[in-house]
Structure 1
Amino acid sequence: MPQISQKGIDMPASPIRKLTPFADKAKQDGKKIYHLNIGQPDIETPEIMLNALKSVPFKVWAYTPSEGTASYRNKLAQYYNKLNYNIEPTDILVTNGGSEAIIFAMQSCLNPGEEVIIPEPFYANYNGFACSSDVVVKPIMSYIDNGFALPSISEFEKVITEKTKAIAICNPNNPTGYLYSRQELEALKELCLKHDLYLFSDEAYREFCYDGREFISPMHLEGLEDHVVVFDTVSKRYSACGARIGCLITKNKALYQTVLKFAQARLSPSLEGQIAAEAAVDTPDAYFTAVSEEYTARRDTLVSGLNAIEGVYCPNPGGAFYVVAKLPIDNADKFCQWMLEDFSHDNQTVMMAPATGFYSTEGAGLNEVRMAYVLNQSDLKNALICLEKALEVYPGRQV
């Protein structure tokens, strides 16, 4: 029998999706499941985006340029320049989702065996992207006790070696919801200049900043132009996860030309996705105001509800739509599976993502879970009741 590749064996399973078979079985058994495990918003996609799909203007479903259509990149540049990114359409390369942008950057900026430093917990698929690209992730720990703030620069310095080529952040952060400050980003700027490193900035949740807090991108920092690579996507901003349209932005022309070669090898991003995404740029500000208000209310409901449960601690995030909560349990993987297999309250249960999958350090996050507040407040309240009842009877509860 032919053998599986070592890379295939090493490729990590998604901690967000690996419990799906247990959820499917629970649904077959008639249980109602509150899905807090995945960042799939229930907010409606902007009508302007859907209407563009309903009236697609082509008769031949053709390839598009490998870097994306000129009209979409022009519209995107206008969007980013309203945010003071000061870029040209030629700094933007359209990708099949933000995921492809990250893979292209890893393959273009790092040789096999070279290292990218990422504060953990981090978006679980970074591990998979690194595996695909033969890149080594060097994690440095952030802690729930201070809300998962950026680790000190001295912690970064400890793990920088001659193999270190990049630092990656997600801002606001998935899975923690932490929003990095200008001071933290300025410190990263100095570090990247000192060691001549790339700074990868995953900005999928840029629009979701709460309590009047300011979003800062490395694109706002002078003197870092050749070092910054931004990843973005329409998935979260417009509640359009299935569109699979993202982009990579860099002012580094040599890097852009390198990324373009990888883009040419996969041919092109989807035509219909770009048509919808181009239309979405004209989404009125009122849409985002209403969405932000809704997510703020959901966050407040979930965080206050979690902290009201005995033995649970959850910091209040400044952005995105996730929380990481510490529970009085022995093992998050066991607990999340038990919730689906063995527990129900009024024939209801909750699906969560074990936080262990968002850490690269072995044994980290054992008593933590990630929850996405992508459900309405009524469902969130019911999910909180289920969780409280479950913790009262869970065999592996810790005092």
Structure 2
Amino acid sequence: MPKISNKGLLMPESPIRKLVPYAEQAYKEGKTVYHLNIGQPDIKTPQIALDAVKIHSLDILAYTRSEGSEGFRAKLANYYKQNDIEVDPNDIIVTTGGSEALLFAFGSITDVGDEVIIPEPFYANYNGFSTASGVTVVPVISKIENNFALPPIEEFEKLITPKTKGILICNPGNPTGYLYSKEEIEKLASIVKKHDLFLIADEVYREFAYDGIEHYSILQEKGLEDYAIVVDSVSKRYSMCGARIGCLVSRNKEVIKTALKFAQARLSPPTLAQIASEAALETPQSYFDEVIDEYVERRNVLIEGLKNIEGVKVAEPKGAFYCIAELPVKNSDDFAKWLLESFDLNGETVMVAPAAGFYSTPGVGLNQIRIAYVLNIDSLKKSIAILKEALKVYKD
């Protein structure tokens, strides 16, 4: 029988989605499952985006330009300008989600066997993208004890080799909710310039910054014009995960020129989704004000509730809508399965994401989970109560 590729065998499962069959079985058994495992917001998509698709006047659903429609990229450039980021429409390539933007970035700056340094825990699919690209992830561990702040720059320097092509961060972070400060970005800028590396920032959660702290983009940092690559997306910003529209942004003309070849190979990003995404850029600030207030309240309820569970340690997120919690269990993967298979509180249980899948260092994060606080307050309170009771009876 023909053999599957080594690349395919090495491709990791999603720690976020691999428990779905257990959840489906729980539903069949009549249980209610609160999904804390996936960053699918329950916030309504802006009506202006939905209406744009309903009222479009297209006669033919044709290809757009490979780099995305000219009008959409112009409005994206204006969006960035409003966020104190000066870029030209030609510095932007529209992609099929932020995922494709990262794949284009890897394809443009790395060869098979090259290395990218990533502070961990990190978005689990970075492991998948690196495997698909033949890139080696070199982790530098951040710790729950200091809220997953940027590790010392000395730790990065120890890991730099002739194969190192860049450093990748997620800001604010998935799965930690950590928001990098201007000073931390400056430290990263210094090291990439010193060692002639790229700095890639996944900034899809830019709007989700709390407690009066403002997001600072690598594109705002002076002197990084040739080094900075931003991955972005409409998925979380406008609660449009299903649109699958993102973009790659860089002032480095060679990066954009190279990424465009990858974009041409896949022809074009989705036409109707671009129409919706372009319209979403007209969303009023009041929408974000309400959304941020809602997420802050959810975060506060969740963090306070988790801290009141004996044996649980939790980091305090300053952005995005995730947190990492350390549980008094040996293996959170087993615990997550047990929650779905064998436990319920009044017919209800929770689905969480085991955090080991957000690390690339073996054996790290085994007793941690990622929680996405994308549910309403009442559901979060019920979820906390379920976790509290579950931990009382769970046996490793």
Specify the TM-score bucket, using the shorter chain as the normaliser. over 0.9
Measure how far apart 1:255 and its partner are: 1.1
Match of residue 26 from structure 2: 26
CA distance in 2, matches of 1:307, 1:59: 56
CA distance in 1, matches of 2:352, 2:256: 38
Match of residue 69 from structure 1: 69
Gaps of 5+ in 2: none
Match of residue 294 from structure 2: 294
Measure how far apart 1:171 and its partner are: 0.2
Q: What residue identity is the alignment partner of 1:20?
A: V
- Kindly report which structure 2 residues correspond to 1:1-399, keeping only aligned pairs within 5 A, or say none: 1-396=1-396
Q: How many residues align?
A: 396
Give the secondary structure class of the aligned counterpart of 1:13: coil
- 1:171-224 CA distance string (max 9 Å, x none): 000000000001100000000000000000000100000010121011111111
CA distance in 2, matches of 1:274, 1:98: 14
- 1:241-268 CA distance string (max 9 Å, x none): 0000000000011111100000000000
Q: What residue identity is the alignment partner of 1:209?
A: A
Measure how far apart 1:316 and its partner are: 1.3
CA distance in 1, matches of 2:104, 2:132: 10
Measure how far apart 1:130 and its partner are: 0.4
RMSD: 0.5
CA distance in 2, matches of 1:260, 1:315: 39
What percent identity do the matched residue pairs reach? 57
CA distance in 1, matches of 2:10, 2:384: 36
- 1:78-110 CA distance string (max 9 Å, x none): 000111111100000000000000000001101
Gaps of 5+ in 1: none
Q: What residue identity is the alignment partner of 1:237?
A: R
Q: What residue identity is the alignment partner of 2:125?
A: N
Measure how far apart 1:57 and its partner are: 1.9
- 1:23-69 CA distance string (max 9 Å, x none): 00000100000000000000000010110111122010100100000
CA distance in 2, matches of 1:104, 1:94: 11
Give the secondary structure class of the aligned counterpart of 1:235: coil
Q: What residue identity is the alignment partner of 1:370?
A: R
